[in-house]
Chain A
């Protein structure tokens, strides 16, 4: 081709560029400007480490009862005292982190996947696909999220268990409590996707008007490639922010479901379950920590993930070039 023979024309000056910073370095530089986001990140990391390492961190098993040592105040043996069945409160708090670490990310991942998929379809195809998905999300939006999750969990649990009992292989699952996890994750995902679908759809709709998408069309780049190589990567930053914020929401929702008695059942420890179980201590000024400790942890995590979301938002915003 003719172009291959061309030499650089003399007199055309090659411009200089500022020194290169690695994208990750650049990301971290921008992220850490938000101090609260860094604090949030530390709290979140602590949560993950605790959840993964709970068997080694917790001094007792979460089921270990000691009826000779019920309702003990904090001591060296039991840093947060014991509950009405003589279970070590601190150990149960640590184990509950594992419960939350299984439920919240799973629910978020499923919800995000659904939201991303539906949002992309609605935004890219438009027309009746868009209308059906959006009306469905309107319906879901019309219910208070928690109430709807409650409804799903309550109706799903018995049917799901019955269905699993039909098969030899799945029978033991019902007893082991895995079903509860599945039900809670399903309920939370079902409630979680519409918001994200709307966000993604809005992103795609506005990105579709960008000149670089028009440029891709002018270059004859196939539609699926435009969708996944050009639209999706540019729509992701707000999605990542939403995932972070969603994590906090999912932790709170899981605790709320357990608090309301739907969802993760005792003896599997859950912060929400601990709060309802320890509710009886509300009037006993001698042991307020039993109520406060799980509540504070949930609150701290919700804040932490929101701060992370704020930090990500600032660090990922390409319009804000500083």
Chain B
């Protein structure tokens, strides 16, 4: 498979009143065309900052990408100007977030929010854009899409809003979809719906996915490859089967042993990871 994204030695720092926070500290990984990469880590591990760096959405100041390369479709995203980057964002790569309520504009209808990208990036006229938007909403499983498209975000449930976010993300046929804990705020039955949906869309459209989560179990049936992050660094990277069968890094082993399993046969004492994660400054 062709290389879609290649992140080399990425370093992102935050310059705060209390000193420099090394949020991402020399991270390297890649994503191939059509591949699903899982990034797992706890809060403060740098997993979200890593993907925000890829999207060049780090708030600056205080944040700054201090070194590294982000090669996407053959171009280093850190070397192109903001105008070109805007073209990449939303068109070639899209992102969906944990909280679908705050990432949708509450005063615009769903139609206004989806068609904006279509008209901007793909140069469609309004009629075409609306038709395509309805098509997208149907694709992500929103019932009565023709009517619902004129609704406002608050008229949708949490799971439905996440579907709308996915529809918006897919509007311009991106090659890479970055999902930052998209199911963390959702209930487990709704999470299953969303995971099923993303898997189906991946197979239909053939895009690559980076799925960020703190829940190692979730990736077992979803990812091709997994990287484990801890304190701003990648501590383990392997094929999905190997991470679960043959974890090498003590932190990965710790993560696997500290979560109870649904198919737990006998009640065994959990093996916690002792202590507190270090602060990254």
Chain B residues near A33: list those with CB within 8 A.
17
Q: Mark A1-26, 1 if CB is under 8 A from B, else 0.
A: 00000000000010110000000000
Q: Which of B18, B275, B276 contacts A322 (CB 8 A)?
A: B18
Q: Tell me the nearest residue of chain A to B18, going by C-beta.
A: A322
Bound-state CA distance A322–B274 (Å) is: 26
B60 CB–A CB distance under 8 Å: no
Secondary structure type dominating chain B contacts: loop
User: Is the beta-carbon distance between B275 and A15 smaller than 8 angstroms?
Assistant: yes
B16 CB–A CB distance under 8 Å: yes
Interfacial residues of chain B within 6-38, with CB under 8 A of chain A in the complex:
16-18
Interfacial residues of chain B within 241-281, with CB under 8 A of chain A in the complex:
274-276
Minimum C-beta distance from A293 to chain B (A): 39
Q: Mark A284-322, 1 if CB is under 8 A from B, else 0.
A: 000000000000000000000000000000000000001
Q: Tell me the nearest residue of chain B to A14, going by C-beta.
A: B275
User: Is the beta-carbon distance between A13 and B16 smaller than 8 angstroms?
Assistant: no
Minimum C-beta distance from A32 to chain B (A): 12
Chain B residues near A15: list those with CB within 8 A.
275-276
Minimum C-beta distance from A124 to chain B (A): 32
User: Is the beta-carbon distance between A13 and B275 smaller than 8 angstroms?
Assistant: yes
Q: 9 A-B residue contacts at CB 8 Å? A: A13-B274, A13-B275, A15-B275, A15-B276, A16-B276, A33-B17, A322-B16, A322-B17, A322-B18
Minimum C-beta distance from A17 to chain B (A): 9
Secondary structure type dominating chain A contacts: loop
7 additional A-B pairs beyond A322-B16, A322-B17, beta carbons within 8 Å, are: A13-B274, A13-B275, A15-B275, A15-B276, A16-B276, A33-B17, A322-B18
Q: Tell me the nearest residue of chain A to B272, going by C-beta.
A: A13
Minimum C-beta distance from A33 to chain B (A): 7
CB-based closest 7 A-B pairs: A13-B274, A15-B276, A322-B17, A13-B275, A15-B275, A322-B18, A33-B17
Q: Mark A64-83, 1 if CB is under 8 A from B, else 0.
A: 00000000000000000000
Minimum C-beta distance from A173 to chain B (A): 54
Minimum C-beta distance from A211 to chain B (A): 19
Bound-state CA distance A16–B274 (Å) is: 12
Chain A residues near B276: list those with CB within 8 A.
15-16
Chain B residues near A13: list those with CB within 8 A.
274-275
Bound-state CA distance A33–B16 (Å) is: 13
Minimum C-beta distance from B21 to chain A (A): 11
Minimum C-beta distance from B145 to chain A (A): 37
Minimum C-beta distance from A37 to chain B (A): 15
Bound-state CA distance A93–B276 (Å) is: 60
Chain A residues near B274: list those with CB within 8 A.
13
Chain B residues near A16: list those with CB within 8 A.
276
Bound-state CA distance A322–B19 (Å) is: 11
Interfacial residues of chain A within 28-49, with CB under 8 A of chain B in the complex:
33
Bound-state CA distance A33–B17 (Å) is: 9
Chain A residues near B17: list those with CB within 8 A.
33, 322
Bound-state CA distance A33–B18 (Å) is: 12
Q: Tell me the nearest residue of chain A to B276, going by C-beta.
A: A15
Q: Mark B142-175, 1 if CB is under 8 A from A, else 0.
A: 0000000000000000000000000000000000
Bound-state CA distance A19–B16 (Å) is: 19
Chain A residues near B275: list those with CB within 8 A.
13, 15
Chain A residues near B18: list those with CB within 8 A.
322
Minimum C-beta distance from B213 to chain A (A): 26
Bound-state CA distance A16–B278 (Å) is: 11
Minimum C-beta distance from A35 to chain B (A): 14
Bound-state CA distance A118–B275 (Å) is: 47
Q: Tell me the nearest residue of chain B to A11, going by C-beta.
A: B274
Minimum C-beta distance from A19 to chain B (A): 13
Q: Tell me the nearest residue of chain B to A322, going by C-beta.
A: B17
Bound-state CA distance A319–B17 (Å) is: 16
Bound-state CA distance A145–B16 (Å) is: 42
Bound-state CA distance A33–B274 (Å) is: 37
Bound-state CA distance A173–B179 (Å) is: 76
Bound-state CA distance A322–B15 (Å) is: 12
Bound-state CA distance A13–B276 (Å) is: 10
Bound-state CA distance A15–B17 (Å) is: 26
Bound-state CA distance A322–B21 (Å) is: 12
Minimum C-beta distance from A133 to chain B (A): 33
Minimum C-beta distance from B241 to chain A (A): 33
Chain B residues near A322: list those with CB within 8 A.
16-18
Chain A residues near B16: list those with CB within 8 A.
322
Minimum C-beta distance from B59 to chain A (A): 15
Minimum C-beta distance from A201 to chain B (A): 27
Bound-state CA distance A13–B16 (Å) is: 31
Minimum C-beta distance from B272 to chain A (A): 10
Q: Tell me the nearest residue of chain B to A15, going by C-beta.
A: B276
Q: Mark A232-251, 1 if CB is under 8 A from B, else 0.
A: 00000000000000000000
Bound-state CA distance A13–B275 (Å) is: 7
